[in-house]
Structure 1
């Protein structure tokens, strides 16, 4: 059997004539189409980020409406001062894992404060939200356990099941009744347990889970409930402890995960548990044990943001007011929105090319939103996804609405112009 051969430029090609990258040819074709429309939405660069709501590309100021900076704390004086002070005291990084040399007193203090805020005896901090779910889910689930996940679960939850290597069962999105049926008929191996994993606020459509109903179903069957509140922590609830708090079931959540990269204005993640035994997982979670711990500046910025969440309820009031304003305005224009008002507002478009064209046009007009397309979206949807911030003003939202109004009124002309541009660059 002949092995790979090298082409003139050094690329290795199999005997079939295909390179190791050939499997991505369909993706490359999709990317090439999008690039011809203007800016590549998945590889764009801001020349400057000036505030929680403003960026700059070239000499153009852009309204940031797709950053997940829900409480607008990335530029808050307290978070910036805390991060700078941490660098002055501890340097720029830990250069070690939590179980080697990478645990500082600030890591432990943040864990205690997050645990206290959530009313849990245990909380573990990780380097990112993604790593949080990988580590905790794979650490919790053993070979005899079964994981039940929502059909619209985030990629990190799906990857957590893969790392766990256990049987995985999907149930219909936000459907406690379907979960009830699947738990009833799924045979759990002897000595095993069921772990149900849902999210609080789903990041693509912006729809909210009935966590209270999932609690009742999961515990009825003796299952553990794991809730990822990455997009809802800090935003919902009387004290900002998320949708579980708002629905009155925070004390019944077995495992509660979140991220620093949304409301906590930093980089990192955490998982808290009402089970004190969760602390033992520090000795078995590979993504926790074998990666460097979060930098002191990230930890201290998150600590300052946590303090703001607990003491500044006006941040939650403002983001909800701006979300309601934006949702109502888009609805009045006749746009199809994927869920009721929340900090995530998804505008459904007919197809991927239309969405990419409109995304480019909005950027030209000074508004940055997210382009979300399959396979990363539910129902193979093509979306213009907006994330509202507490730092947005009423005037900011009116400016965003004015661009969408122009898009609605002149959509055919905009698409025609984009098509001409794409043909000219072919």
Structure 2
């Protein structure tokens, strides 16, 4: 017998369906670079497997040979069974953090494609279970210090960052959001900061997950230089592995590594793994270990996962050919999107900013119909609707990866 609460839930779900905003879990299988849906093989252009590593069977076979050098992984624990502060820490995890630091130091000591040498202060890495855990944990921990703090976040930052900001609000911490990539608006908000504010944290993604455009990290660094209270928090989830000669992300590509106080990256996308990390100074790392609730109270990831991430990390500097192919496919697709269907934040001269290429239709029903049309043509393309994106900006989120060929890309363009 339905209770009044169940009836209200059913009515609310019916309203979502009528607005074309109802979600359900897909019944799919994976077969290399294809998704099997309703018995049909569709080219996967919806995942964040940017380098195509997750569908590389030969790479996975190589990994199982690689782990033979670690006796403890021959019969690996399928769970850490505890948080890191209890018994969840392990040799693979400690080695991964050390190798992450070395990876960034390697990138910092070399020149980028423009011939400019990166520079960075020595930073420490702290591995966390996921990007969501990172963003809902780091910000509340940072603002637990009794310091009057102002957070200024880009309007289009990810839901995990928004949730982290909400969890950070207290008597001493307030926040405002500046218009997307509008640094004049950000400068105005900085100028309006009260004199007794001791700390200002500017938060942005480097590559935005839905529009696929990029933040101007150099402009943010210039703003930071104007006020000693400012700290930069940059989420590189969609840039790590994709940009930079070593794959360290947009911060490497723009020589801004040294100026970012809190650099968050993830393994769940271009790394084809699971987990996340923050690159920060030693003092901040120690503070997070003592105050970051998702770290303290979550079971750590299994050692086998960290071994896979280390295996991929060792290869990341040598995957430049994949990054270049990915950039070419992204450009080819971006240039084919008519101006009426582009994100307003992506003008013609910078349309090849990332592998994320939004095809904006606006109307929910029209977006669902277009996704169905693309799937009928052999592409696993998915509709993205509000509230994930702003109202009237429903879209197909087309995502290139290094397994997509030029012929695949051309065929996709023909169906657009």
RMSD over equivalenced CA pairs, Å: 2.3
Which stretch shows the higher mean deviation, 238-247 or 87-96? 87-96
The aligned residue for residue 28 of structure 1 is 14
Q: Distance in 1 between matches of 2:415 and 2:24?
A: 21
After superposition, what is the alpha-carbon deviation per residue over 1:25-53, rounded to whole angstroms, capped at 9, x for unaligned?
45532325649xxxx7642121x2011x2
Judge conservation of contact 1:146–1:188 (CA < 8 Å) in 2.
no
Q: Distance in 2 between matches of 1:109 and 1:386?
A: 35
The aligned residue for residue 254 of structure 2 is 247
The aligned residue for residue 162 of structure 1 is 166
Which stretch shows the higher mean deviation, 127-136 or 361-370? 361-370
Judge conservation of contact 1:83–1:298 (CA < 8 Å) in 2.
no
User: Any idea what SS the aligned residue of 2:88 has?
Assistant: coil
Judge conservation of contact 1:229–1:258 (CA < 8 Å) in 2.
yes
The aligned residue for residue 151 of structure 1 is 155
Cα deviation for residue 344 of structure 1 reads 0.3
Structure 2 CA distance for partners of 1:364 and 1:82, relative to 1, 3 Å = same
- Does residue 1:43 correspond to 2:22, yes or no? no
Q: Distance in 1 between matches of 2:270 and 2:324?
A: 14
User: Any idea what SS the aligned residue of 2:332 has?
Assistant: helix
- Does residue 1:131 correspond to 2:133, yes or no? yes
Q: 1:117 aligns with which of 84, 97, 103?
A: 103
The aligned residue for residue 116 of structure 2 is none
Q: Distance in 1 between matches of 2:325 and 2:315?
A: 14
The aligned residue for residue 141 of structure 1 is 143
The aligned residue for residue 314 of structure 2 is 307
After superposition, what is the alpha-carbon deviation per residue over 1:250-275, rounded to whole angstroms, capped at 9, x for unaligned?
11111100111111111111111145
Q: Distance in 2 between matches of 1:41 and 1:381?
A: 17
Judge conservation of contact 1:148–1:171 (CA < 8 Å) in 2.
yes
Alignment of structure 1 residues 387-426 onto 2, 5 Å? 387-404=399-416
Q: State which structure, 1 or 2, has the greater radius of gyration over its C-alpha atoms.
A: 1
Alignment of structure 1 residues 154-303 onto 2, 5 Å? 154-165=158-169, 166-187=173-194, 189=196, 192-222=198-228, 223-274=230-281, 276-303=283-310
User: Any idea what SS the aligned residue of 2:74 has?
Assistant: helix
Q: Distance in 2 between matches of 1:128 and 1:317?
A: 27
Q: Distance in 2 between matches of 1:170 and 1:188?
A: 19
Q: Distance in 2 between matches of 1:32 and 1:81?
A: 49
Q: Distance in 1 between matches of 2:342 and 2:59?
A: 35
Q: Distance in 1 between matches of 2:13 and 2:48?
A: 26
After superposition, what is the alpha-carbon deviation per residue over 1:290-349, rounded to whole angstroms, capped at 9, x for unaligned?
001112232222222222221221111010011111122334xx6622231220000110
User: Any idea what SS the aligned residue of 2:401 has?
Assistant: coil
Structure 2 CA distance for partners of 1:268 and 1:24, relative to 1, 3 Å = farther
After superposition, what is the alpha-carbon deviation per residue over 1:53-74, rounded to whole angstroms, capped at 9, x for unaligned?
2121233110100101101111
User: Any idea what SS the aligned residue of 1:75 has?
Assistant: coil
Cα deviation for residue 224 of structure 1 reads 0.6
Judge conservation of contact 1:122–1:276 (CA < 8 Å) in 2.
no
- State the TM-score, normalizing by the size of structure 1: 0.83
Gaps of 5+ in 2: 106-121
User: Any idea what SS the aligned residue of 2:331 has?
Assistant: helix
Gaps of 5+ in 1: 1-8, 14-18, 405-426
Cα deviation for residue 218 of structure 1 reads 2.5
The aligned residue for residue 329 of structure 2 is 322
User: Any idea what SS the aligned residue of 2:43 has?
Assistant: strand
Alignment of structure 1 residues 326-365 onto 2, 5 Å? 326-331=333-338, 336-338=341-343, 339=346, 340-341=351-352, 342-365=354-377
Cα deviation for residue 160 of structure 1 reads 0.6
Judge conservation of contact 1:141–1:147 (CA < 8 Å) in 2.
no
- State the TM-score, normalizing by the size of structure 2: 0.85
Q: Distance in 1 between matches of 2:193 and 2:48?
A: 37
The aligned residue for residue 409 of structure 1 is none
The aligned residue for residue 44 of structure 2 is 64
Aligned length: 381
Q: Distance in 1 between matches of 2:194 and 2:61?
A: 51
User: Any idea what SS the aligned residue of 1:258 has?
Assistant: strand
